[in-house]
Structure 1
């Protein structure tokens, strides 16, 4: 099952991007086992990069000559060893390029490789004069986790511990997120067998359901999993001279509200509504929970509220030349003031969320040792407001649950052979739980202590060492079937039996069988050698009390390990519950504070923009009024000068008359 697509980070314009000619400094390094091969821009014929904040794909076509010396790459390229490619790109124009800015760097494992040999007519001496190679590589998690489908169970562990155990070579993880530190009674990574979802899907699904972000530092192969987007560094000014076109992308906000429903019968509140000022009346999405813990409900309410945060308008920028420093996804940009202060993006900070580069070498016979070369290329960027809360994750498939495995019930009471039961109460909700040992992973999980599918009239808990079928979900376990008989009748007997008690010599049995094809009911109470029996058969009722011959049964042995483990489990559960309660309260408070802060920041920015617009309008009006006044003053001065001239003429005329 594929999740609902999230807002895309890739450029969306259907218009073919503008092409231009410019110089690029390119370095491609291929590491194959212990061998490394470096190629410069003169060897690179084509480039195609599609990068986002959470990953990338890149394809490079390059030429290696074998006319003068042997092609040492060829035998390693055609081996079965993993190839790791590192591509570095920068502006290749000396004097215009920003030498202090780091190059745009991408590093990841190769997923496709192919080659074409260039041959001459001289098939005997040197038929192959060169080879044209093509490699396609992706970010490490998409490749390595995309092929990783483990089936594992964790008890009392956190998602941080789970992720750390699955770090693949060439990957780094930044896991400084409180949600990842929360220990869970059960965590099941259910991806084995015929499951279509991979570990990459599993991580994407977890982040989506917890409103988390995935951000990649492509140069280091380092992924950041967090509850909010990184703030980014200092904003870089994008020169007006390099911009061909700017498109403002105004996404639609969600038009629905939300409700969180708690189906637990004894829940204090069964429904909590989440409002959305942009919603159409009557539209909503209901989220269903079944939990006695109010903190889980509050956490889900905060999650649904975060999902309804409206997106902010973004930009799509097509370039006409290569900027001094290439902006990789995650970089913070602001537009050059030369573009004017009245355009929509003016004075705003944006985060690059996607970049798409196509480049083809312009020279037909370049110098293979050139560090920079001229390319016919196109470069397009997708930007979002730095304050935009919109979640952007790769598409994923939801893992399939439950996972069915066998377990054995644990009990801290009674002897080693006793069929006793034991319920461990949770600290946060006081709900009793079974403790079940899962031999496959040698882990102990907890499951609800409930009648299951039987009515509540029958109190027959699962007993110590009973084989049960356990359904494992991502963070919960449940007993769904019992696989053992406490007292099975002989194969040649037709009938039924109920066994009550702890063990064979300390129990009561109710047996209904057929004797000579006639029903007979036998009720037997036994304690050691003391036996009381009642038999109802055809035409008679028999009562018998006796003490069997032999020796008394030895006192049952008691293994204290289950008791100690139960105590440890109880203490761990209390600690986890306390941490969960504090974490839930903290997350709720932080979510509210962050939402209020983001809302206040957006309001301040909007008010500032409106004030700036009003001030600009007033300045323009004042300037127009001033110009009118100056024009009027000039006209008045001219009239005065004219009148003075006329007066002078009149005085002179009077004097000479």
Structure 2
């Protein structure tokens, strides 16, 4: 059972809202609770204020719905950590009560008790942010910059710089409970990145790896109340990445040493691109890494070293038991928990003092500095796809022309249609597939046809057609069916079947300017007609190169995007290899230094032992010499 420690804390509390700033003396703070993690924090603080001190300005300001910012700084005495614990956040809950505390000179005294619950800005703002947006030709960094509000973000992750053909945010009413904060955590987790928060600077960072630039500070046993070891649950499953494309289906099993035979988490893909499947395999393999054991350290005094998340500590010194888990190894601070209750809870005690005494519980969670896996809070994954209406995009001709465009990616040989989504005025690519028709029908979607498009996070799909093109529908009285082939009314072929006087009639009607041909079959007759309308002006031969230009532009964009993505992937892979080698070299160096330290220690101990033996022999020899000297002296005395 852990016991609270009594410490004098100097607390600085500043509230800012509506352009006003309020400084609360530390002596007024009666309780505070802080849980600080690598990704952010949650905290609460309770303080008293007297009505006689004219706190009406603060009381009035707190009635307004303005954004309330809190900065809390906690420091100890002369021998505590050199850097104060600082958290800066936004209030997400506030309570104010008024209580009487006796009389003074016949006047009843009243105090107000304020309780504020606050957290880091990303949790407060992004948990209420649920946008639905469609972007094209954009990087994830640009998306984050567009939605960062007042947050301070830094980036050191090549994945965020890569331009993507499309990115879709689907966080509105179609996905209850999923916020932009969940989306960011989901993205970081699925791409094996790191999301970290610096509480002192109130700044977030998205990086490829954890920072390892700090030096480890020694932590002695005399400052620690107890240590608990937390063993991570072993992973009992392997992973299979299945690619369900018919031309070359693959099933890649990713083994894991602690997996039970026959237990697997399967991931399903459908892609003709082997590189996409390989990238997914790498991500899944990283997730199979087993976390290292963690240490939970409770303090019996305010520590003399910094213990903010990300700081490095090293448990060393003669008082630690030999062979203890994590001893003489660099440990990274993962979580910090501080709970403080003022020894005197009376409202009028310490009203003007900057510091007061508290019962404190202080503990940290440590992980080995070599741990590469990131720690994130629980989150909800966004739900895809969302469905929107689009118009088939095909350049050239008039608005009502029935032209189509198929774009081929020269690098991947994949074909796609282009769809414009009017809601955001963005054009996306969808796979050029027969959709719901058999493969021996070739009816590509025509220009400006209304379609239903499914938007996933990084790609889109054509779901179905919503409306008929102009002139395709036949009158209901004839109960007819019709197919229009061609560009427009002046250049097309119509195949029509309907009922006239309850008799089926089938006809082919070809039109090319003033030149028409008709084949009509009805009850008991076959009619064939070839006709050129007198006086009609033959159309001037033209050749619209817009589709070819558009296709070439799309091909170039896809090729450049693919090349950039490939280069970024190669760079990231190379950097990952370099980082892995550097970490291995660091680990080997630390192991070698540890071995050398032990060897030198053994040699020093051996030399010390030899010196002690020699000293003992010398002392024995001195004793013998002294004895001989005494005997000689006694013999000389007798001779006299």
TM-score for both structures, normalised by structure 1: 0.87
Select between 598-607 and 570-579 the one with higher mean Cα deviation: 598-607
1:355-366 correspondence to structure 2 within 5 Å: 355-363=336-344, 364=346, 365-366=348-349
Q: Per the alignment, do residues 603 and 312 of structure 1 end up closer, same or farther by CA in structure 2, a change over 3 Å counting? A: farther
- Alignment partner of 1:424 out of 399, 407, 416: 407
- Alignment partner of 1:305 out of 285, 288, 311: 285
User: 1:204 matched to which residue of 2?
Assistant: 185
Residue 199 of structure 1 and its aligned partner are, at CA, apart by 0.4
User: 1:48 matched to which residue of 2?
Assistant: 33
1:495-510 correspondence to structure 2 within 5 Å: 495-510=480-495
User: 1:438 matched to which residue of 2?
Assistant: 421
Residue 60 of structure 1 and its aligned partner are, at CA, apart by 0.1
1:234 to 2:219 alignment: no
Contact 2:132/2:172 (<8 A) preserved: yes
In 1, Cα distance between the equivalents of 2:550 and 2:123? 40
Residue 311 of structure 1 and its aligned partner are, at CA, apart by 1.9
Pairs aligned (count): 625
Structure 1, residues 413-439: CA drift from partner, whole Å, max 9, x if none?
545432111111124312111111110
Select between 81-90 and 295-304 the one with higher mean Cα deviation: 295-304
User: 1:18 matched to which residue of 2?
Assistant: 3
SS in 1 for 2:280: helix
In 1, Cα distance between the equivalents of 2:294 and 2:511? 80
SS in 2 for 1:428: coil
- Alignment partner of 2:360 out of 377, 399, 406: 377
Q: Per the alignment, do residues 561 and 175 of structure 1 end up closer, same or farther by CA in structure 2, a change over 3 Å counting? A: farther
Residue 292 of structure 1 and its aligned partner are, at CA, apart by 2.4
User: 1:188 matched to which residue of 2?
Assistant: 168
Residue 190 of structure 1 and its aligned partner are, at CA, apart by 0.6
1:408 to 2:391 alignment: yes
Residue 519 of structure 1 and its aligned partner are, at CA, apart by 1.3
User: 1:259 matched to which residue of 2?
Assistant: 240
SS in 2 for 1:208: helix
Residue 226 of structure 1 and its aligned partner are, at CA, apart by 1.5
1:151-550 correspondence to structure 2 within 5 Å: 151-169=132-150, 171-196=151-176, 197-267=178-248, 270-340=250-320, 342=322, 343-363=324-344, 364=346, 365-486=348-469, 487-549=472-534
Residue 502 of structure 1 and its aligned partner are, at CA, apart by 1.3
SS in 1 for 2:54: coil
Contact 2:405/2:547 (<8 A) preserved: no
Structure 1, residues 421-467: CA drift from partner, whole Å, max 9, x if none?
11111243121111111100011111111111211110000011111
In 2, Cα distance between the equivalents of 1:127 and 1:194? 56
Contact 2:313/2:332 (<8 A) preserved: yes
In 2, Cα distance between the equivalents of 1:413 and 1:456? 27
In 1, Cα distance between the equivalents of 2:586 and 2:478? 79
Contact 2:70/2:88 (<8 A) preserved: yes
In 1, Cα distance between the equivalents of 2:180 and 2:212? 28
Structure 1 gap ranges (5+): 1-15, 653-657
Contact 1:296/1:584 (<8 A) preserved: no
SS in 1 for 2:477: coil
Contact 2:485/2:493 (<8 A) preserved: yes
In 1, Cα distance between the equivalents of 2:60 and 2:544? 63
In 1, Cα distance between the equivalents of 2:610 and 2:109? 80
Q: Per the alignment, do residues 120 and 366 of structure 1 end up closer, same or farther by CA in structure 2, a change over 3 Å counting? A: closer
Residue 543 of structure 1 and its aligned partner are, at CA, apart by 1.3
1:567-586 correspondence to structure 2 within 5 Å: 567-586=552-571
- Alignment partner of 2:93 out of 112, 128, 131: 112
Structure 1, residues 469-492: CA drift from partner, whole Å, max 9, x if none?
110000001111112213111232
Select between 327-336 and 276-285 the one with higher mean Cα deviation: 276-285
In 2, Cα distance between the equivalents of 1:42 and 1:625? 57
Structure 1, residues 162-199: CA drift from partner, whole Å, max 9, x if none?
00000122x11112210001111110001112422110
Residue 604 of structure 1 and its aligned partner are, at CA, apart by 5.6
In 1, Cα distance between the equivalents of 2:456 and 2:216? 44
Q: Per the alignment, do residues 598 and 306 of structure 1 end up closer, same or farther by CA in structure 2, a change over 3 Å counting? A: farther
TM-score for both structures, normalised by structure 2: 0.89
